[in-house]
Amino acid sequence: MAFELPPLPYAFNALEPHIDAQTMEIHHDRHHATYVNTVNGAIEKHPELDQKSIDELLGNLSSVPEDVRTVVRNHGGGHFNHSIFWTLMGPGGGGEPGGAVADAINQAFGDFATFKDTLSKAAIGQFGSGWGWAFLAGGKLQVKGFPNQDNPVMEGGVPILGVDVWEHAYYLKYQNKRPDYVAAWWNTVNWGAVEERFSKAG
Ligand code: MN
């Protein structure tokens, strides 16, 4: 089964004014679509990979044939990251989480403000293109920056909340001001979706 571009679960302008409609349209319809099409091209060369989920492929990159491994890592990683990313945002987002996610944040970081600051710094400080991810690993909530389309699942972790800091995610509206984009992005976080991811991961 070829991978498919999932529909954006809200309108392109739903995250305005924090993320502009044109950025969302290009990001989803062109960038994410290219990741899907390119990883599918690699899978076509190796029918034995066709039955594997994207999580399985990325979680076991060493078992992916060498001639397509980098494509699966970059474009498969791009498909995986963005498929999660769209669901973590939504109109009327922002604020603070509750429930088990809040407990895990407080346990690992002391309080929400420290968690927010840690994830923001990981994202802003990621040199070049990449992501800031909060993820579960070894039963603990952790935060780290990842280059390119790498992600926690490649290290056996479970991604919980991530922010895309590729320039394509913010340059039309924020140009070089990545910190302003990351600050605005927090206003789009759909904590209900994050809590759902967290409960499935535990
Ligand atoms: Mn992106």
CA of 161 to the centre of ligand 1 (A): 14
Neighbours of ion ligand 1 (CB under 5 A): 164, 166, 169
**pLDDT tens for each residue of 43-96:** 999 989 999 999 999 999 999 999 999 999 999 999 999 999 999 999 999 999
pLDDT band of 107, cuts 50, 70, 90: very high
* Whether pLDDT at 1 is above 90: no
pLDDT reading at 202 higher than 70? no
CA of 37 to the centre of ligand 1 (A): 15
- Kindly report the average pLDDT of the chain as a whole number: 97
How does strand 130-137 pair with strand 140-147? antiparallel
% of residues, the chain, pLDDT over 90: 96
Strands 130-137 and 158-164: antiparallel
Q: How far is the CA of 85 from the centre of ligand 1 (A)?
A: 9
CA 70 to ligand 1 center in whole angstroms: 18
What are 166-169's contacts with CB under 8 Å, separation 24+?
Answer: 166/129, 166/130, 167/129, 168/23, 168/26, 168/27, 168/31, 169/19, 169/23, 169/27
Measured distance CA(152)–CA(161) in Å, rounded? 11
Per-residue pLDDT reduced to its tens digit, 130-145: 999 999 999 899 999 9
pTM of the predicted model as reported, rounded to 2 decimal places: 0.97
Q: Is the alpha carbon torsion for 86, 87, 93, 97 positive or negative?
A: negative
27-31 long-range Cβ contacts below 8 angstroms, 24+ apart: 27/82, 27/164, 27/168, 27/169, 28/82, 28/86, 31/78, 31/82, 31/168
